[in-house]
Structure 1
Amino acid sequence: VALRLAKLLGQSSHQATSLIRTPSHEADIKAVGAQPLLLSLEDAPISDFTKAFEDKDVVYFCAGAGGKGGEERTKKVDYEGAVKVFDAIEQVKEEMKRPRLVLVSAIDVRDPEKPIPAHYDEQDIERSKKYREALGTYIKWKYEADKNLVQRTSFKWTILRPGTLLDEPGTGKVSAGRTHLRPGIPRDDVAKALALLVDRVDAAGLTIDIVGGETPVAEALDAVIKKGETDFLG
């Protein structure tokens, strides 16, 4: 999703800088019109990220361990890496110069001890169980990162939570807000939603769920933002 997003931003009036772990990714980043910056989420100190963020308007967090390396690495990237970015933004000295954050999480990331969301139907409940059986560790640490972020008030943030990611071409149409956990959503459409959020300061404080659907991406996002109802239910 991150590379697709960088390409979309590069095609617009925005200049994207992509943080990479290894020099081997430089060519791919440059090919889509973005500038690579070598900075390891796992190894670099918070101060390096603060320096990188100081002249930026928006920071996107699209990183994820992808299930590689077991729970230790999932925690390191999806939770500790995210918190490192949150802290780095907070350490930009001038509050007015702190960039907005758009965090990519995942649909159905919630406290399993709390009641099932009222808008879930039977298929959603069954799918939620399967998510936790297959991706329990991932969901656990994504939830901890989301929970940490929603308590922060020193900078503006938005969380986008896509459903199952698909590699098929995007349709440009989605369902957003308190929707069902299905169908899956092409990575192209997630990237489009993220690119549209670059200018949506009015989405600050919202968590937005997004899956495949029948509404154009911009229209679906606009409706959710205007409604002002967050999808993070704790």
Structure 2
Amino acid sequence: MRIVIAGGHGQIALRLERLLAGRGDEVAGIIRKAEQGGDLREVGAEPVVLDLESASVEEVAERLRGADAAVFAAGAGPGSGVTRKDTVDKGAAVLFADAAVRAGVRRFVIVSSMGADPEHRGDEVFDVYLRAKGEADAYVRAQDALDWTILRPGALTDDPGTGLVRLEAHTGRGSVPRDDVAAVLAELVDTPATTGLTLELISGSTPVSVAVRSVAGN
């Protein structure tokens, strides 16, 4: 498979790229800065320099053409203000979805956040973030031309992954290592039977592959 990942230099994306390349997939990561390219090459991914906050739909679609799947793992990140929650967490996700449709890439996985809700109230930065993520999710759900899956991890940690998770429509609050988020994403990309599902993810007791097969109905 050829898989293109938006936010290719993010902590989850780099882990995912290593996993996908390690199993033999062709992986490209979209990054904003050319100097980040070495980190992607180190994990086996092809760096693609493109700023999703200023690129056109056609520019992004050109990078997606020929791909078997697209993964949106970009985010404004901690310390960013209200404006970039809108331009990255919502705007770039919408752009990437539109570009996937234009490029004919049906399989689309988006990394959201537990608690994402377009109707979320409040004016603090985290409130705006949850609203932006919720609006992006709602937009993706409305795209009939995409075979989408939405993944909503709980609180992210840098603890070593255990390979044991809880993956359900509603898990309740909890945390999960980024290693395990990447492992679940790798399985989801390759499991189109999860199309149309919005899934929450926290640490649990079920092996990743079993958890994904379970929600897929296999």
Q: Report if the CA contact (8 A) 2:76-2:85 is conserved.
A: yes
Corresponding residue for residue 210 of structure 2: 219
Corresponding residue for residue 159 of structure 2: 168
In percent, how many aligned pairs have the same letter?
Answer: 37
Q: Report if the CA contact (8 A) 2:70-2:105 is conserved.
A: no
Q: Separation in 2 of the partners of 1:183 and 1:212?
A: 7
Structure 1 runs of 4+ with >6 Å offset? 131-134
Verify: 1:69 aligned to 2:80, yes or no. Answer: yes
Q: Report if the CA contact (8 A) 1:57-1:99 is conserved.
A: yes
How far residue 181 of structure 1 moved from its aligned partner, in angstroms, is 3.0
Please, what is the CA RMSD of the aligned residues? 2.0
How far residue 111 of structure 1 moved from its aligned partner, in angstroms, is 5.1
Verify: 1:148 aligned to 2:155, yes or no. Answer: no
Task: Say how many residue pairs are matched.
Answer: 207
Q: Separation in 2 of the partners of 1:41 and 1:201?
A: 26
Q: Report if the CA contact (8 A) 1:101-1:156 is conserved.
A: yes
How far residue 133 of structure 1 moved from its aligned partner, in angstroms, is 6.7
Q: Report if the CA contact (8 A) 2:118-2:138 is conserved.
A: no
Q: Separation in 2 of the partners of 1:225 and 1:76?
A: 32
> Where do 5+ consecutive residues of structure 2 fail to align?
1-11
Verify: 1:19 aligned to 2:19, yes or no. Answer: no
> Where do 5+ consecutive residues of structure 1 fail to align?
114-128, 228-234
Q: Separation in 1 of the partners of 2:65 and 2:175?
A: 36
Corresponding residue for residue 70 of structure 2: 59
How far residue 157 of structure 1 moved from its aligned partner, in angstroms, is 1.0
How far does the alpha carbon of each residue in 1:127-161 deviate from its partner, in whole angstroms, 9 at most, with x for none? xx9x9977211101000101111111012111111
TM-score (norm 2): 0.89
TM-score (norm 1): 0.83
Name which one, 1 or 2, has greater alpha-carbon Rg. 1
Q: Separation in 2 of the partners of 1:41 and 1:63?
A: 9
Amino acid at match of 2:200: D
Q: Separation in 2 of the partners of 1:132 and 1:180?
A: 26
